[in-house]
Chain A
């Protein structure tokens, strides 16, 4: 039975576990230290960052990441000594408040005892933790959670006697860098939550205070998981560890109606006064519809046509969020949704259920496929009718988009036709940018 199962992958839409180096790199002041072969994290850089909107890096990312570059002698005689040398020098050479050692395939297979290499440094008080994330155990999303849990357990530590702050939220909304637009997304969600009176630990990116935010995890009133499945494991871990509740909102809000509903849900869960939130909502809605009002002219009377049917390929988070917005708010007809992030089997039913009603009377057609060859085959078989198809996907779908004369908008890993800085397609402001992007692509194509 298992023998027949299709397992190969062409054109992968994710990195391996070592790609979670970029979960670390996204924390201001944190330094990943890679314990494995000479090319591992360099390879992941291309899937996670460079060929994903040419995001680049800040702090300890890209070429700056220290690593053991384990060679033949580390395989034969063990890699502990070399790792010790790299850690010892990394602690002096790299500017850092937190060092996270990520062990990959080779040390795991040869059985290196990494914990005992790190132990003396931990005993001396160095902020250093370790996560075992060999590529054969999972992809960068699996390891994203492993790394976060390692930091919580080995760095944040115990929380006895800590007082909760009613308005402090820990925000978990997926894997930095892997989400091409993570920097802009965090800014938008933080902006929205703060406007309602919350303080927000965002952990990653420009708006994070760095490791001090991580230290304050136990102080938060609750964990907000804004993602279909990723980071749920983190929230459950925190619930168990600190008896800290969590609110799971599986669909990232896009557009005024969804974002307003999202904010009201969070305010209600937090049980805080809603005056600020409502005032903010009023202001944001006014602005949002001022723009949508203008857009109505194009939408209503553009002569030359634009797509009316769409298909989407991408990770679960963006897949459902954008599908919902397009189907429910713009009235595009969903043809098919392919989730390419290897969503763990135990979550698949719940994630698929999110597509049951994308909008009133509009149903999804969702599938979980990781192999790019099969994804492209599927896309090429989709019936888009007479209008120009809209495909939301990655650079891997370029060829099939061309074959179908489709408009391709890159919305996730891999994106080599986009240069992404501070951009977001979510919330109030992001939705408008997303409309701009989709219809600019449509009218130029």
Chain B
């Protein structure tokens, strides 16, 4: 079988090329399921689709082309929040100082993550080569080498990562050669990441790039199997997975944030790999499966009753613990049902709106709907029509629509707060759920409270439903503050824009810009 992940190559193909990912779309979730043609695309992804054509044009998923943009993350920033959050490795950002400016937030995440996993909090150690104008003219390879030596002396790291920025990519810095040279000199793995911000239209390519670097440079190439070890591709979340997997006799190995070098290295030795979010985890899981025969779990994500049941069963099947799983599932259902019924009663008539990363949103909506919360709209920041795994059971959007029905207003848009007024005018929303910055403040000003999920494992599993239900009740109370804001502060958008009903009108009718230009001139 042809491989999806080319670990012999230094660079990763962008998501938009590899998976056909899009960042701008609006319609019903069911339509997007159909247009995504997950299974056909999975075959093409493996090079086995007979009808895909040479360039794959036949599989292209159309998207809306907006002339206006607001900013959010980039792949470089994502690579920093991944490779820069490993406990005993050091990331060197080969860039001017500004490419590190989000690190204080990742530091908060790192410190919180350490605490959640029972480790003493401390600051991240990310260096920047701090490039200046002369470096742009004369090149900065020497600075990077010096930085690597400095990192080695200062922090005694198990491995060093290099990350590329827009400017170093444009001036043609050769990260790979320098990494190879420094690896020889220092005697530890030095992993280059070609994660310059401009290279991919979506930041999630940055996840793949950092995982690729770990797979190539850190993962143990001669694994000794650990049959009770399960990899969970995660971020900084609380260890809720152990409670769920212990009954199946499994130990959890979290990757990549908060992990140590050894924890990353042993991923090739695990019994299987899964994740809380296929958007994040599919690349790593698929690579491990193809290169080291570590199977990935063929299941949707562990959210809501249906998702959690199916996920546990798939893992149990993989490790031969079907009986234990059935007992656990039955006991858990019995345990949480009364509490969930109670929450459903309290949440009756409540409407939610989910704005998060792609497949995570699919999971969150399942949880909300299990709690009886109405969700008629959602924004995902990009959409992968297929994941690297390509397994039918991992088609999270289809699972959502099949299990819980359609979402009438399903929007793909990369954190564009200017669209929020129009998006929220189409549906009822008593609260929103977010993770990424930039959107919730405007919802807040429109009178809508937000549930900012900093601990991404919060909604996972049976208890996740209870946690979310209780948190939503707390969040709804905050509406008082949001109503104060709504009464007294406004949004930074023109009345003309705020009167628009279609968040994508600029893509569909760009001529409206000319019409209003005349008005402004008059």
Contacts and interface: CB of A to CB of B under 8 A. Distances in A.
Interface of A: 3, 7-12, 14-19, 31, 34, 36-48, 50-52, 56-60, 62-72, 74-75, 85-86, 88-96, 104-106, 109-110, 124-125, 134-137, 139, 370, 373, 395-396, 398-399, 414, 416
Question: Which size class do B's interface residues fall under?
Answer: 35 or more
B154 A37 contact: no
B97 A12 contact: yes
Contact of B108 (A37, A51, A60): A51
Interface string B500-522: 00000010000001001100110
Nearest to A69: B69
A272 to B, nearest CB: 37
11 contacts: A9-B127, A12-B97, A12-B100, A12-B101, A15-B101, A39-B197, A43-B74, A66-B69, A88-B513, A92-B520, A135-B96
Interface stretch (B141-149, B230-238, B392-400): B141-149
B71 A8 contact: no
Interface string B104-144: 11011000000000000011011111111101100000110
B291 interface: no
Nearest to B197: A37
A370 B132 CA distance: 14
A9 B93 CA distance: 10
Given A7-B143, A109-B136, 14 more contacts: A8-B143, A12-B130, A39-B73, A39-B76, A42-B77, A42-B102, A50-B105, A62-B417, A71-B198, A88-B517, A92-B494, A94-B492, A125-B521, A414-B107
Instruction: Give me the 3 closest cross-chain CB pairs, A-B, nearest first.
Output: A63-B438, A16-B98, A39-B74
B71 A38 contact: yes
Interface in B159-217: 165-167, 170-171, 196-201, 203
A46 B71 contact: no
Given A56-B441, A106-B198, A109-B167, A88 B67 contact: yes
A31 B492 contact: yes
A63 B437 CA distance: 7
Contact of A89 (B167, B196, B513): B513
A86 B69 contact: yes
Contacts of B13: none
Given A42-B77, A109-B167, A109-B171, A93 B198 contact: no
Contacts of B492: 31, 59-60, 64, 94-96
Contact of B72 (A9, A42, A51): A42
Nearest to B129: A8
Contacts of B132: 136-137
B489 interface: yes
Contact of B154 (A17, A90, A373): A373
A92 B199 CA distance: 29
B497 A92 contact: yes
Interface in B403-430: 415, 417-418
A63 B517 contact: no
Given A39-B74, A51-B108, A44 B101 contact: yes
Interface string B1-27: 000000000000000000000000000
Interface of B: 67-77, 92, 95-105, 107-108, 122-123, 125-133, 135-136, 142-143, 146-147, 150, 154, 165-167, 170-171, 196-201, 203, 415, 417-418, 437-439, 441-442, 489, 491-494, 496-497, 506, 513, 516-517, 520-521
Contacts of A60: 492
Contact of A19 (B101, B108, B125, B497): B101
A239 B494 CA distance: 37
Contact of B123 (A15, A44, A110, A398): A398
Nearest to A41: B71
B489 A58 contact: yes
A430 B415 CA distance: 38
A152 to B, nearest CB: 24
A65 B220 CA distance: 44
A85 B142 CA distance: 39
A63 B71 contact: yes
Given A46-B102, A85-B67, A39 B129 contact: no
B36 to A, nearest CB: 23
Nearest to B72: A42
Contacts of A66: 68-70
Contacts of A124: 521
B68 A38 contact: no
A306 B95 CA distance: 42
A109 to B, nearest CB: 4
Given A106-B167, A373-B154, A399 B128 contact: no
Contacts of A44: 98, 101
A8 B108 contact: no
Contacts of A104: 98
Given A43-B77, A71-B198, A106-B166, A50 B71 contact: no
Given A38-B72, A95-B494, A46 B130 contact: no
A43 B102 contact: yes
A86 B68 contact: yes
Contacts of B506: 89
A330 to B, nearest CB: 29
A75 B439 CA distance: 28
Contact of B441 (A3, A62, A71, A110): A62
A63 B438 CA distance: 4
Nearest to B170: A109
Nearest to B206: A39
A135 B97 contact: yes
Nearest to A45: B437
Nearest to A374: B154
A380 to B, nearest CB: 13
A92 B70 CA distance: 14
A427 B197 CA distance: 43
A43 B99 contact: yes
B434 to A, nearest CB: 11
A47 to B, nearest CB: 4
A297 B494 CA distance: 56
A229 B323 CA distance: 72
B439 A105 contact: no
Nearest to B171: A109
A257 B35 CA distance: 72
B98 A11 contact: no
B198 A65 contact: no
Contacts of B437: 42, 45, 50, 62-63
A379 B258 CA distance: 27
Contact of A85 (B68, B71, B494, B516): B68
A85 B95 CA distance: 28
A344 B142 CA distance: 24
B21 to A, nearest CB: 13
A136 B517 contact: no
A8 B517 CA distance: 47
Instruction: Report which residue of A10, A39, A74, A370 has the largest number of chain B beta carbons within 10 angstroms of its beta carbon.
Output: A39
A119 to B, nearest CB: 16
Nearest to B489: A58
B198 A399 contact: no
Contacts of A416: 104, 107-108
Contact of A39 (B126, B203, B441, B513): B203
